[in-house]
Amino acid sequence: MLRDSHNRIIRDLRISVTDRCNFRCFYCLPHGEPPLARKETILSFEEIEYAADIFVSLGIEKIRLTGGEPMLRRDLETLVAKIAKLKPQLKDLALTTNGFDIPRKAGILKYAGLDRMTISLDTLDTHRFREITGVDSLEEVFEAIEAAKEHGFEPVKINAVIVRGINDDELVDFALFARRTGVEMRFIEYMPLDSGHDWSRDKVVPGREIFEKINSVYPLELKDASRGSETAWKYRFADGEPGGIGIIAPVTEMFCGACSRIRLTADGQIRTCLFSTVEHNLRDYIRSGATRSELVEFIQHVTLKKEPAHRINEPDFVPASRTMSFIGG
């Protein structure tokens, strides 16, 4: 079992499979991609599979593939199939994507063993979509959501980063979208992880405000009084309509005390927190020919260094050593 020095059990591994992205979301990659990792530094599928196998043997139950845009990694379904072999110890294999190629690949990903899919969508308006992401792909994202539903990835989760003055006027529209399509809309507070370093506190829309705006139009009921190690408070619509709402408020309602997550970047660095300022080089250790038991010890040792909490709200906050597209959300 992986336990950190604050007695938190780590059950959730996020693996970034690439640092490349085909979107240019202003809250993530506003000025294009920073220099990408050299190809030879990126973990191969076999290395990811080996690392995942070790993590699962140490009690990891959930793996989420992310990026960059994970669907840009060629033949992702091959990696999904390799990791899916770790079930049933691995209980949940998920993907976070901007929807790229999902209409074509949803079936094959399901067949390969993917359990769940989260698709990012920050606006329902075509013009605004281009402004936020830098590309004209709103229709493709809608198609991706439909494809995910058709292939049984229910409930499809949709991530929307809510930023003051950009899309906070769409909260009720998003709730209506959830009711009409049956998806779970998850609203995320804007975090200081953008490569442009343009984040400021006044652009954060607090989770409480998000809840109140939606609740005043479509009354919400909390699904579960405890959220365990989940990031989101989850709500259903009180009138029984389909769909749901999730609110993720890492800035205004920090939930680090219950964190169960650890991350592996595309270039093989372990990160114990989204906001870590140091990383731990698993890749070089694997490539140096370390034995499996040495790698186990390394991972256990690194886990002990997991930070007690992020320091976004502290005066001495130091930004993470890498930005979101490298870390993997």
Residues that bind ligand SAM (CB under 6 A): 21, 27-28, 66-67, 69, 96-98, 120, 159, 161, 188, 190-191, 193-194, 324-325, 329
Output 214 or 327, the one with its CB closest to ligand SAM: 327
CA distances from 252 to 28, 144, 195, 209, 313 (A): 19, 31, 21, 11, 8
Shortest Cβ contact with ligand SAM: which residue?
329
Output 205 or 302, the one with its CB closest to ligand SAM: 205
Output 101 or 307, the one with its CB closest to ligand SAM: 101
Residue 7: CB minimum distance to ligand SAM, A: 27
Residue 323: CB minimum distance to ligand SAM, A: 8
Whole-angstrom Cα distance, residue 138 to residue 126? 6
Q: Give the DSSP letter string of 159-218.
A: EEEEBTTTTGGGHHHHHHHHHHH--EEEEEE--S--TT----GGGB--HHHHHHHHHTTS
Q: By C-alpha distance, which of 249, 254, 206, 255 is closest to 228?
A: 255
Whole-angstrom Cα distance, residue 128 to residue 112? 35
Output 182 or 319, the one with its CB closest to ligand SAM: 319
Residue 193: CB minimum distance to ligand SAM, A: 4
Residue 65: CB minimum distance to ligand SAM, A: 9
Whole-angstrom Cα distance, residue 153 to residue 146? 10
Radius of gyration for the alpha carbons in the chain, expressed in angstroms and rounded: 19
Residue 71: CB minimum distance to ligand SAM, A: 8
Q: 263 by DSSP, 3-state: which? A: strand
Output 210 or 299, the one with its CB closest to ligand SAM: 210
Residue 106: CB minimum distance to ligand SAM, A: 15
Output 234 or 305, the one with its CB closest to ligand SAM: 234
